[in-house]
Amino acid sequence: MTVQIKTIDLEPKRQTFGHIARRLGGDKPATRYQEATLDLQATDNFHYKPQWEPEFWHYDTRKTAVVMEDWYKPLDPRQFYYATYNIARANANQAVERNFTFVEDRDLLGKLDPAVKAKLISGLLPIRHLHWGSNMNMSEACQRGYGTAVTAPCIFSAGDHLGMAQIVSRIGLVLDEQTGTALDAAKEAWLNAAEWQGVRKLIEDTFVERDWFKLLVAQTLGVNAVLLDLVYKHADAAWGPAAVPVAMLTEFMADWRAEEGKWSDHVVKTVAAESEANKALISEWAKTWIDRAEEAAGPLATALLGDASAAKTAADAARARARSLGLTL
Amino acid sequence: MAQIASITLLHNDDARPIIEAILADNPGVRVLNMPGAVKLDRDDELVVNRASVEARLGREWSPQEIQLVLISMAGNLDEDDDWFKLSWKH
Amino acid sequence: MSVQALDNANYAKNIEYRDPMKNFHGNMLVYVHWEEHLSFCAALAFPLPPAMPFGALVSEVIAPHYAAHPEAGAIDWSKVTWMIDGVTKTPDFGASLEANGMKHKSLVRFWTPGLAGFKSSAS
Amino acid sequence: MAPKKLGLKQRYAHMTRGLDWETTYQPMDEVFPYDSFEGIKIKDWSAWEDPFRLTMDAYWKFQGEKERKLYAVLDAFAQNNGQTGISDARYANVLKLFLTGVSPLEYQAHRGFAFTGRHLRGVGPRVACQMQSLDELRHVQTQIHTISHYNKYFDGIAEFRHMHDRVWYLSVPKSFFDDARSAGPFEYMIAIGFAFEYVLTNLLFVPFMSGAAYNGDMSTVTFGFSAQSDESRHMTLGIEVIKFLLEQHPDNLPIVQKWVDKWFWRGHRVLGLVAMMMDYMLPKPVMSWKEAWEIYFTEAGGSLFTDLARYGLKVPKYAEVATAEAEHISHQNWATFYQYSHAAAFHTWMPDKAHLDWLSEKYPNTFDKYYRPRWEMWAEMEKQGKRFYNNALPQLCQVCQIPMVYTEKDDPSKISFRCSEVNGETYHTCSDGCKDIFDGEPEKYAQSWLPVHQIFQGNCGGATIPDVLNYYRMNVGADNMDYVGSPDEKLWNEWHAGKVRDAV
């Protein structure tokens, strides 16, 4: 006796959902990324105006000055949905664990000269607060943005920044032998040391930005491309004998920047390409925030490396990047 | 009426050592079997002890790992290195 | 009591009430419910001209929409008890809905003596 | 003396709240513009307790592992055509209602927790909210991926996104979440974090997903239980929020009590859809709605509210009405969809005799007296070729937006009509619970997008039923009407006949 089911009976009636098929131009098999993303956010017939901002619906295209005919044009080149995002990060984190084990087993940070340690505490550890501020901005872009294609990667990015803030915190706990004193000292530097105040002022100014796409530009081309790149990419010389362990312990950040940069570049490029008006707005935003970031980065670069040239190097790279996305600066 | 501390776990191989540890460490625990899940209830307090789970599992186990098989719970949670406790006591 | 917004005056300015009568193209909403016949799960809603005679409401709107019920044929409309917006009254079949005191979103409930649903179960 | 090494709790505090600082270049009130207007007073955000001390690395690790397991099941289910092994094709209608009605709420929760995860001033709850925002995105996406396979074979699923924004009965769950999303951040936390996640979601996920397992749907039970493991973190956040607010200032109590009353009632109304799924739509039922209510509200909620009584918080107003309604709502709801089957995107059916007997047994106080005769009358009409349909549109409640089908607490033969007057206009509500909510915030609920009124205003595609169904993108004759005679049934019978034929 067999209970084989004839394959002919199991021909699917349809390949995917209606809204996906309309985007694919016909009923074709769709990827999990597509089914989990396209047109997922509600668009019509909202019931009540938000008590905290009745000028808009809670999902409203008017919360930014840029205009898109379709907010599902700026897709994620990584095709992240929750599962692929988490699995990618879980894998990357295994490398983080291995690197921490390597550094801790050999006591690579503990053996350092106190002056080098002090420099890591005042020059590297405060960056965790910048990650936390970035986490706030990416949460804001997620909650305030329009369309799952852009907003879902924003909450992933918020999670990434929290994760990176915690990796930096762990470096601090290795430095201070799990007592928290280094983290307290780094926070003091973030709040009061002169070289960090421009950075802190810049990120606090982004907190009050209510145009979510402008915020996204400020975050990705200003904070990420100038400030984070300064510290993670252009400051190796500042750490002296600690350069290699720092590079190992911040490998996650280097990989993350390369990967997330592809996404944010694609988003900015696509939205700018939509219209001359968008391009003009985004170009102006990019110019403003890269200039501001360069200014903020100057004292930090000087404190870390002796002069401000690395700030200019990072800002020029950010400008070149912005131009490659079609912006005019 | 007693307040009921409760935990619902997947009924699978990964959860079995935890279920057994709960049964051993919580006198008077009541078991409700459902398709795919098991609900364990006890008056006032219910605890999962790391040592008891490890004794059954034969490896190190962190109470945070309970998340992989946890479906639901009731009671105020107190989670530490050595236990995962649900309680209505103050 | 009223809603607490970040800025109550601004909230009042930005909200839109969705169902004023002017949005119904000259009609007003009328809800009708046949008591003790819950196989019609809820009162029925109709957009109707305020000038429609009450008799037309009964013969052209109510009767056909309840006709599917096995007891519908047994209704004696002259014996029906009417309640409009919570008040028991005897409507003037010749007068308009408006003249019978009805307004936008009025609720008309009626009881049919002797008929209490399938096997008197209010179904 | 050298400083002491940090314990687990202090270490976690450094990893989260140590990151935050009081801004000085911008005023805190502009950085956090939304967390003051609701009247909630917070004296000390640092008093927040983090019950789950989950850093992002641990989050990624556990969640990544859960996802690997879940997608392995989904792939296996699709490869083995698991849809042919469910108890009966009627079961698929549960998934239709779930994907059109519930999954879009998970998405709303994702965006809502991103809002509170940015805009609450305290860092502890903010981190927990962000993780919940990620989790809720997980839930909607895994639900879509699970039900995607069913969509390949069964009708009524393909237009779930389009329908959620438009179809009459889906405005019930949609307005529920729009309500929470348009409220301030603290109310959102009490509405979704506490009332929904803590008090009510167990009723959705645990017995219902157990039902999926019992009806052979291994993919749904896997996502359901996997999602629920995140839910226990969410429940913990929900109870922490309420305790924190009540501990912070005595003036918070009346505000929180009002929200608890409101959101308990709102949630209870939405869950009526689940009641109907459990009592009528599972071909092999696991537990009646009434039993589930007893375990997950009366018993679990009883323990919870006993605990919260020390803060002066009372059991939600009308909890006893909701408990009394557990005898009725599943029957009243299924009867509603039965008579509006032509306008619903899932199939209905007449319960067979065995099922009616099961209901009689589970509802000895009410079923034989009020509901069994209704089904028997309609069964008789079906037999005579006069399948009963309601051809007019129903009156809707201004607040919950459900057709006004619910009956008086002391008389199940009488519909419960309530109304309020505001600025000369009448607003109808289905119960004291909904009326209280309306009267508390009339400016809010007068905005409701009520589908029946929108149809009459001409905003839903046109004046006739076919126009409206077209606006819904309903595939008439496939998505709607009875299961018997549907393409779903035909396909199921073909699969089944194939099995029987080959077995012989």
User: Could you tell me the two tokens for D112?
Assistant: 């809502």
Cα–Cα distance list, C85 to A268, C99, C110, D417, D427 (Å): 58, 14, 11, 10, 12
Domain ranges of chain A: 70-324
Question: Tell me: the pLDDT tens digits for D144-191?
Answer: 999 999 999 999 999 999 999 999 999 999 999 999 999 999 999 999
Asked if C4 is an interface residue toward chain D (Cβ–Cβ < 8 A), one would say yes
Give CA–CA dist D141/D133, Å, rounded.
Answer: 13
Closest residue, chain A, to C10 (C-alpha): A54
User: What's residue D111's pLDDT?
Assistant: 98
Helices (H) and strands (E) in chain B, counts: 2, 7
Whether chain D has a CB inside 8 Å of the CB on B31: the answer is: no
Residue among C4, C31, C105 minimizing CB distance to D37: C4
**C43–chain D nearest CA distance, Å:** 5
Which of 1.10.620.20, 1.20.1260.10, 3.90.1570.10, 3.40.50.2000 is the CATH number of A70-324? 1.10.620.20
A45 touches chain C (CB under 8 A): no
Superfamily of domain B4-87: Monooxygenase component MmoB/DmpM (3.90.56.10)
Helices (H) and strands (E) in chain C, counts: 3, 5
Nearest to C4 among A51, A53, A55 (CB): A51
Predicted confidence band of residue D126 (pLDDT cuts 50, 70, 90): very high
Burial class (CB in 10 A: 0-12, 13-18, 19+), D367: buried
Whether the CB of A152 is below 8 Å from some CB of chain D: the reply is yes
Query: CA-to-CA distance for D311 and B53, rounded, in angstroms?
Result: 36
Comparison of pLDDT for C23 and B71, the residue scoring more: C23
- Residue A9 is predicted with a pLDDT of 65
The C-alpha of C78 sits at a distance from chain D's nearest C-alpha, in angstroms, of: 23
Q: What is the pLDDT of residue C122?
A: 93
Domain range annotation of chain B: 4-87
* pLDDT (tens digit per residue) in D314-348: 999 999 999 999 999 999 999 999 999 999 999 99
CA D233, CA B77: separation in Å to the nearest integer? 10
Q: How confident is the model at residue A1 (pLDDT cuts 50, 70, 90)?
A: very low
- Judge whether D475 is closer than 8 Å to chain A, CB to CB: no
**Given a cut of 90, is residue D77 above it in pLDDT?**
yes
Instruction: Single out the residue of D319, D298, D315, D297 nearest to residue D306, CA to CA.
Output: D315
Low-confidence ranges of chain C (pLDDT < 70): 1
Cβ separation A183–D14 shorter than 8 A: yes
Neighbouring chains of A at 3+ CB pairs under 8 Å are C, D
**Residue with the larger pLDDT of the pair B36 and D295:** D295
Mapped onto helix, strand or coil, the DSSP state of residue D412 is: strand
How would you label A172-208 residue by residue, b for 16+ Cβ within 10 Å and e otherwise? bbbbbebbbbbbebbbebbeebebbbbbbbbbbbbbe
CB–CB contact D184 A51 (8 Å): yes
How far off is chain B from D303, nearest CA to CA, in Å? Answer: 4
Neighbouring chains to C with at least 3 Cβ pairs closer than 8 Å: A, D
Alpha helices in B1-90 (DSSP H): 16-25, 50-57
How many residue contacts between C and D have a Cβ separation below 8 Å?
151
Q: Give how far B26 is from chain D: nearest CA, Å.
A: 19
Q: Positive or negative, the Cα torsion across A125, A292, A153, A137?
A: positive
Contacts of D445 in chain A (CB under 8 A): 48
Cβ contacts of A152-157, under 8 Å, gap ≥ 24: A152/A37, A152/A76, A152/A80, A152/A81, A152/D137, A153/A76, A153/A78, A153/A80, A153/A263, A153/A267, A154/A216, A154/D114, A155/D110, A155/D114, A155/D130, A155/D133, A155/D134, A155/D137, A156/A80, A156/A85, A156/D134, A157/A260
Nearest to A35 among D56, D145, D182 (CB): D145
ipTM of the complex: 0.95
Q: Do D62 and A86 touch, CB atoms closer than 8 A? A: no
Q: Do D374 and C38 touch (CB under 8 A)?
A: yes
Residues in CB range of D37: below 8 A, 6 or more apart: A51, A52, C4, C5, C6, C7, D184
Contact C54/C96 with Cβ under 8 angstroms? yes
Tell me chain B's radius of gyration from C-alpha atoms.
12
What's the Cα-to-Cα distance from A283 to each of A9, A137, A249, A272, A274, rounded to whole Å? 56, 20, 35, 8, 13
Cα nearest neighbour of D66 on chain A: A83
- Give ∠ CA D450-D452-D455 in degrees, rounded to 5: 105
Whether residue A9 and residue D165 make contact (CB cut-off 8 A), yes or no, is: no
Residues D336, C11: C-beta atoms closer than 8 Å: no
Q: Is D16 on the interface with C (CB under 8 A)?
A: no
Q: Mapping DSSP to helix (H, G, I), strand (E, B) and coil, where does residue C26 land?
A: coil
Verify whether the Cβ–Cβ distance B77 to D236 is below 8 Å: yes
Q: Is residue D363 over pLDDT 80? A: yes
Count of C-beta atoms within a 10 Å radius of residue C10: 13
* B87, pLDDT greater than 90: yes
Residue D210 and residue B36: Cβ atoms within 8 Å?
A: yes
Alpha-carbon gap: D49 to the closest alpha carbon of chain B (Å): 10
